[in-house]
């Protein structure tokens, strides 16, 4: 097409966990189908719509893996664990042979083989409380060669220095949010493979059971470990100066590791009540000079985990009305857009699924796929499939330049 110069800016709008399966409570519709999304539906009618396999075979369907794919990097070669991505977000200095775990403060029915995981967040423990507790555990329980770093609420990091060649690197403890009300014997067996780590977990539980702990945290849960995350430089790889906008550490960590700008938005919570307008303003401000923005909204995922069909539908509608609509209005046809989710968080299972995700690409003049709305079923019906998922970003750049 030759009627004018193609856009040079590319915007990714990612609604975490938005995709779903048909839901009985929604009359057999998905939240994407049930929600009023007039802007995404128009962009879908005018754009390319298909499915993208953001979670490679053999990897767990988490936001860490899936957002890495959407940012154009192959998780098969770059993903080392959840802990390392959050360490990147915190700006933690790691040696190449360090192993970093994500460490939750959790509530268990008991730290024993007949124990159950009750709450991965210890009742969404307050940050000031958990910081004091984690600092105390660091002083009183930590084995030689380990370091603890308190984070936000229940999310902390545990570093095993120089452990890359040791058993720490290989144990397979499950994410605590995936095993709510399930038995923990298998995970305790994994902890026991590293006596120093098991010793720490036991001592920490003893301290947390003491009288001067005002919270529901009664155990620590190290998981998602790996060596330091290194990503290729985003600008050098794709020729676009990029930024990420998100409330969640793992997206910030991915951006930071790829040398992107990480835009801080006050009041960005990761919940339904978040600072949508602040995210839009930050993205638009960056695009005055920058070329690429990755705007990530967490709320649909949270509602999926909560099994809240009405909330998830509302989260999808707000994403359309308060993220997509104002950005499209402000950018006009100066930018190309990709709208997608990182992974599905089906209400039926209240956790992530590895199914390919619906995406749409819009730029002025693109030949449309011919769908009526932006939904999972419409996306599957076009036959357009992008796999592996990290191919979506370079393909979007190609589509944009053909415009």
Question: Minimum Å distance from CB 256 to Zn ion?
Answer: 20
Burial of 129 (0-12, 13-18, 19+ CB in 10 A): middle
Question: Minimum Å distance from CB 77 to Zn ion?
Answer: 23
Burial of 334 (0-12, 13-18, 19+ CB in 10 A): exposed
Checking DSSP bridges between strand 261-263 and strand 242-245, what pairing results, if any? parallel
- Please give the structure tokens belonging to residue 85: 């991505």
φ, ψ at 308 (rounded to 5°): -100, 90
Can you tell me the distance from the alpha carbon of 284 to that of 372, in angstroms, rounded to the nearest whole number? Answer: 29
Residue nearer to Zn ion on the CB measure, 86 or 301? 301
DSSP string, 209-240: TSTT--SS--EEEEEEEESPP----HHHHHS-
Query: CB nearest Zn ion: which residue?
Result: 301
Residue nearer to Zn ion on the CB measure, 82 or 118? 82
Question: Minimum Å distance from CB 305 to Zn ion?
Answer: 6
- Please give the structure tokens belonging to residue 343: 């992974």
152 DSSP 8-state letter: S
CB 133 within 8 A of CB 105: yes
Question: Minimum Å distance from CB 302 to Zn ion?
Answer: 7
Residue nearer to Zn ion on the CB measure, 71 or 353? 353
Question: Minimum Å distance from CB 352 to Zn ion?
Answer: 6
Residue nearer to Zn ion on the CB measure, 168 or 301? 301
Question: Minimum Å distance from CB 299 to Zn ion?
Answer: 11
Q: At what angle do helices 392-402 and 63-70 cross, to 10 degrees?
A: 30
Question: Minimum Å distance from CB 42 to Zn ion?
Answer: 28
Residue nearer to Zn ion on the CB measure, 313 or 345? 345
For residue 339, give the nearest of 21, 52, 40, 38 by alpha carbon.
Answer: 40
Q: What is the dihedral angle through the alpha carbons of 325, 328, 331, 335, rounded to the nearest 10 degrees?
A: 150
Residue nearer to Zn ion on the CB measure, 249 or 301? 301
Residue nearer to Zn ion on the CB measure, 190 or 301? 301
Residue nearer to Zn ion on the CB measure, 351 or 369? 351
Angle value at C-alpha 72, between 67 and 76, nearest 5 degrees: 75
Question: Minimum Å distance from CB 303 to Zn ion?
Answer: 10
| Site residues, Zn ion (CB under 5 A) | 301
């Amino acid at each position: 097409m030759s009627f004018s110069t193609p856009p040079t800016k590319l915007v990714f709008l990612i609604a975490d966990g938005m995709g779903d399966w048909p839901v009985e409570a929604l009359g057999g519709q998905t939240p994407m189908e049930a929600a009023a999304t007039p802007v995404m539906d128009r962009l879908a009618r005018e754009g390319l719509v298909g499915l993208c396999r953001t979670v490679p075979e053999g990897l767990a369907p988490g936001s860490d893996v899936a957002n890495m794919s959407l940012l154009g990097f192959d998780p098969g070669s770059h993903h080392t664990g959840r802990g390392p991505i959050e360490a990147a977000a915190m700006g933690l200095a790691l040696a190449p042979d360090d192993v970093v775990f994500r460490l939750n403060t959790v509530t268990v029915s008991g730290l024993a083989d007949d124990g159950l995981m009750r709450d991965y967040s210890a009742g969404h423990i307050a940050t000031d409380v958990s910081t004091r507790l984690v600092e105390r555990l660091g002083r009183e329980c930590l084995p030689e060669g380990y370091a603890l770093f308190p984070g936000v609420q229940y999310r902390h990091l545990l570093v095993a220095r120089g452990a890359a060649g040791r058993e720490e690197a290989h144990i397979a403890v499950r994410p605590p949010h995936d095993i709510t009300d399930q038995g923990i014997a298998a995970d305790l067996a994994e902890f026991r493979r590293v006596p120093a780590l098991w010793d720490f977990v036991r001592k920490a539980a003893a301290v947390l059971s003491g009288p001067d702990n005002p919270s529901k945290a009664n155990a620590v849960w190290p998981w998602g470990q790996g060596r330091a995350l290194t990503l290729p430089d985003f600008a050098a790889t794709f020729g676009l100066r990029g930024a990420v906008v998100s409330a969640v550490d793992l997206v910030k960590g991915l951006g930071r590791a790829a040398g992107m700008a990480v835009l801080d938005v006050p009041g960005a919570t990761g919940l339904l009540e978040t600072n949508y307008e602040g995210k839009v303003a930050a993205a638009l401000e960056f695009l005055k000079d920058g070329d690429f923005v990755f705007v990530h909204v967490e709320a649909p995922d949270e509602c999926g985990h909560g099994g809240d069909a009405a909330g998830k539908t509302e989260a999808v509608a707000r994403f359309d009305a308060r993220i997509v609509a104002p950005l499209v209005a402000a950018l006009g046809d100066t930018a190309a857009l990709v709208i997608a989710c990182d992974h599905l968080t089906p209400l039926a299972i209240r956790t992530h699924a590895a199914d390919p995700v619906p995406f749409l690409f819009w730029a002025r003049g693109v030949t449309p796929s011919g769908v009526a709305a932006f939904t999972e079923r419409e996306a599957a019906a076009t036959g357009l499939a992008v796999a592996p998922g990290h191919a979506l970003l370079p393909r979007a750049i190609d589509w944009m330049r053909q415009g």
